[in-house]
Amino acid sequence: MQDAHEFLRSLTVVLAVAAITTVVFQRLRQPVVLGYIIAGSIVGPHVPIPLVADPGVVQTLSELGVILLMFSLGLEFSLRKLMAVGPTAGLTALLQSSLMVWLGFTIGRLFGWTPLESLFAGAVIAISSTTVIAKAFEEQGITGKLRELVVGVLIVEDLIAVLLMAVLTAVASGSGLAASPLVATIARLAAFLVGLVGIGLLLVPRAMRAISRLNHRETTLVARIGICFTIALLAQSFGYSGLGALAAVRLDPGTAVIGRTLAQVNLRGRTGATVLAITRTDGGVLVPTAKERLRAGDVLAVAGTHEAIAAARAALLSGPPPTVTDSRGRNEKS
């Protein structure tokens, strides 16, 4: 019952704050999506306002919202339209992403950041937010070829983001950038998309026509939502839904992994999650290498699927890593 009560409380806080901020921004004639972003900051743990909602509940609600928003965007954007703008959108997305990665890397180096930190900075600014732009276009009533082209660019950028995550994960984990994992990622993504589109075109239209013939709006709505979340679950099972999942893990004094390097902890090998950044107690933020030693008070930005993040949190906080035997027969902690 406590979990149900916490979910209801968090849902109330999120919806109430979102309602207030959106009304305010409508009065100010500003984009409502900006009000949603402000609402997220208010209910989050990083603003000193006593309205903090449960992070787990908020993350679940946000993912449900993104799934539904992207599904509604897909309903009005046919495959025929995507093919029509494909070449232009693909070239535009590639040029834009490449330019922004280069620009972010150059600015990072001018600030004195390391090459790895500069590379991450470029990757962060290279990809546009599909959800924010789609919502802004909806509010402004932008339609026609411009909307189709922009949405096409955003779709290609989402695919580029998957490849960037694969590259940056390999670089940040210290395993290096090898061609075979990258090729495998591209092949897996292509196979998933081709299979999803092929099976979807074969089965979904026939199923929806059969359901529509029942002439029952509620049944049709439930079926559409069911298809939406089925596809989302399928994407998660292939590891794509969780690519953007991120969590912060604080290492309190006395935590077993303090003093060990990331290579010794071997978090990616044990859990599948990756440490993308570390915030030190002095406020410094660094992109860690495999030789980086963990300190008390560090806040680790951990990326991966939800299962990987949960396993990483447990591995970092619950106890020391398992003991293994090295080549000389000595026991040491990995």
Q: How far apart are CA 303 and CA 74, in angstroms?
A: 27
Q: Is 319 helix (H, G, I), strand (E, B) or coil?
A: coil
Tell me whether residue 119 is in a domain.
no
pLDDT band at 231 (very low <50, low <70, confident <90, very high): confident
Do 253 and 307 sit in the same domain of this protein? yes
> How long, in residues, is the chain?
334
Is 106 contained in some domain? no
Whether residue 333 has pLDDT greater than 50: no
Name the residue among 154, 175, 311, 334 with its Cα closest to residue 260: 334
Q: How confident is the model at residue 332 (pLDDT cuts 50, 70, 90)?
A: very low
* Under 8 Å between Cβ of 43 and 17: yes
Check: CB of residue 290 under 8 Å from CB of residue 331: no
74 is a domain residue: no
Maximum distance among all Cα pairs of the chain, rounded to whole angstroms:
73
Judgement on whether residues 275 and 229 belong to the same structural domain of the protein: no
239 φψ region: left (φ > 0), alpha (ψ -120 to 50), beta (else): left
The DSSP result for 212-269, as a single string, is HTT--HHHHHHHHHHHHHHHHHHHHHTTSTTTT-EEEEE--TT-TTTT-BHHHHTHHH
The contacts of residue 99 (CB under 8 Å, 6+ apart) are none
pLDDT attached to residue 185: 67
Q: Are residues 264 and 221 in the same domain?
A: no
CA-nearest of 242, 294, 301 to 274 is 301
User: 77: which DSSP letter?
Assistant: S
- The tens digit of pLDDT for each residue in 76-108 reads 666 777 777 778 888 888 898 889 889 988 998
Q: How many CB atoms lie within 10 A of CB 266?
A: 18
Please tell me the total count of domains within the chain: 3
48: DSSP letter: S
Q: Residue 91 domain-assigned?
A: no
Pick the closest to residue 156 from 242, 200, 96 (CA basis). Answer: 96
Residues 293-323 pLDDT 10s: 888 888 888 877 667 788 888 888 875 544 4
Give the range of the structural domain holding residue 230, as residue numbers without chain letter.
179-241
Do residues 313 and 258 both lie within one domain?
Answer: yes
Assign residue 282 the CATH number of its domain: 3.30.70.1450
